[in-house]
């Protein structure tokens, strides 16, 4: 039975094994997917095959920069339990993945898995296999993003949230005061889960949707029913101004000093340090966001064991 590159990829996703191992297994199994999984398991490479269907929604979101703060990476690696997320071996693996991304700039997770891990002769995929075998849980590299230019990283609550902020600046990126400012911005993003950088970044359809909700709210408010159209338009404009202040980073009230916005804090820091600072981009990863966590039915589990 012939097999395709897509079959190799599907086997890798099911087992977490390396691409070449998967190709050899499919060749030996004459293209039969289940038989190929058995081949890998017999070789001791795919004990994780039984774990691949288990939900991995815990883990770590890590953000790091290079020594000069001129490039940064944020990455999420998932495991099944919070207990493993606190495991030093797992944490070291996540850091190795982040360092590998920082130094090799792979295009995506697939490319990262095929890359030689930083400080090792193994590929990241091979190292991942090893961790699954030794730790005993399903482990998945879910996503990462690398940003080039002045960057500051922040990790909240031991890996619950990772944030990387990218700046356009002529200030020395290793200046402790600049780094402290950058961490303040990253902490704000982590705390408030800010969706947009500036008002210009809010999509037109989002603005239209918000305005529509505001109009409908006023239609259902007896106090607003008889107000002229122009008055209603001005009210909507005012409400949208509040929306931008709440959802756009530079317009947000700075959490450490409510007397100024993040934009004003940025300007004040730039003036103090004798240069210019513009926030270009930020990326915020929260571990497990969007993953449906398994809901264990303890009673059913006990009942099944009794049977």
- The pTM for the full model equals 0.78
What digits encode the pLDDT tens for the residues 215-267?
Answer: 888 888 888 878 888 888 899 999 999 999 999 999 999 999 999 999 999 99
pLDDT of the residue at 243: 96
Mean pLDDT of 32-54: 70
The whole-angstrom distance between residue 227's C-alpha and the CA centroid of its chain comes to 46
Closest CA to 133 of 51, 56, 54: 51
pLDDT of the residue at 302: 45
Q: Residues of the chain with pLDDT > 70: what percent?
A: 90
Q: Residues of the chain with pLDDT > 90: what percent?
A: 67
What digits encode the pLDDT tens for the residues 50-73?
Answer: 555 566 779 999 999 999 999 999
pLDDT of the residue at 54: 67
Rounded Cα distance between 171 and 52, Å, is 47
pLDDT of the residue at 291: 83
Contact call for residues 224 and 193 (beta carbons, < 8 A): no
Residue 301 has pLDDT above 60, yes or no: no
What digits encode the pLDDT tens for the residues 89-137?
Answer: 999 999 999 999 999 999 999 999 999 999 999 999 999 988 988 888 8
């Amino acid at each position: 039975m012939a097999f395709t590159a897509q079959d190799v990829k599907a086997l890798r996703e099911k087992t977490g094994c390396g691409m070449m191992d998967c190709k050899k297994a499919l060749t030996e199994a004459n293209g039969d997917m289940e038989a190929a999984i058995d081949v890998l398991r017999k070789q001791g490479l795919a004990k994780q095959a039984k774990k691949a269907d288990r939900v991995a929604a815990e883990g770590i979101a890590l953000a790091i920069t290079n020594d000069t703060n001129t490039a940064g990476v944020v990455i999420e690696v998932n495991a099944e339990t919070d207990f493993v997320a606190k495991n030093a071996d797992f944490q070291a693996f996540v850091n190795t993945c982040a360092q590998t991304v920082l130094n090799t700039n792979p295009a995506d997770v697939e490319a990262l898995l095929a890359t030689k891990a930083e400080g090792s002769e193994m590929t990241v995929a091979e190292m991942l296999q090893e961790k699954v075998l030794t730790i005993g849980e399903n482990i998945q590299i879910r996503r990462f993003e690398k940003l080039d230019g002045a960057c500051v990283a922040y990790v909240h609550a031991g890996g619950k949230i990772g944030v990387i902020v990218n700046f356009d600046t002529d200030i020395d990126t290793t200046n402790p005061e600049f780094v402290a400012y950058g961490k303040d911005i990253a902490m704000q993003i982590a705390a408030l889960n800010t969706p947009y950088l500036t008002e210009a970044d809010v999509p037109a359809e989002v603005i239209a949707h918000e305005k529509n909700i505001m109009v409908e709210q006023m239609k259902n408010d007896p106090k607003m029913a008889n107000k002229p159209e122009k008055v209603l338009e001005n009210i909507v404009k005012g409400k949208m101004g509040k929306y931008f202040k709440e959802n756009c980073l530079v317009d947000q009230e700075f959490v450490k000093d409510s007397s100024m916005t993040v934009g004003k804090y940025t300007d004040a820091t730039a003036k103090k340090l004798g240069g210019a600072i513009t926030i270009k981009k930020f990326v915020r990863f929260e571990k497990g966001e969007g993953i449906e966590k398994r809901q264990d039915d303890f009673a059913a589990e006990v009942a099944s064991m009794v049977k």
